[in-house]
């Protein structure tokens, strides 16, 4: 769901990942991309914003999976001989 949100509106995807500090410049660049959409540079800016948002969403998802793995593995005792 967040990947679809990153595709449609990258600043909103960054906000859902609790990265508000990154969402501020992303919003400014998103507005610049919309304003310069007629000249072709807007599509390039939008492409990089989508890549940025996909990276943040993927990092958030990987972090959640890593924390779940740590919770699962932590109680297992290590047997040393």
- Residue 40 buriedness (CB in 10 A; 0-12 / 13-18 / 19+): exposed
Give the pLDDT confidence score for residue 49 in this predicted structure.
93
Q: What is the pLDDT of residue 31?
A: 93
Domain ranges of the chain: 2-68
pLDDT in tens, 23-79: 999 999 999 999 998 888 988 999 999 999 999 999 989 998 999 988 888 777 777
Instruction: Give the DSSP H or E segment for 3.
Output: helix 2-8
Evaluate if residue 14 carries a pLDDT over 80. yes
pTM of the predicted structure, to 2 decimals:
0.79
């Amino acid at each position: 769901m967040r990947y679809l949100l990153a595709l449609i509106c990258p600043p909103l995807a960054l906000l859902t990942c609790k990265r508000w500090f990154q969402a501020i410049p992303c919003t400014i660049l998103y507005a610049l991309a919309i304003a310069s959409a007629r000249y072709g540079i807007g599509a390039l800016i939008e492409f990089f914003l989508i890549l940025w948002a996909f990276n943040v969403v993927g990092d958030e998802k990987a972090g959640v999976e890593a924390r779940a793995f740590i919770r699962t593995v932590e109680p297992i005792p290590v047997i040393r001989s």
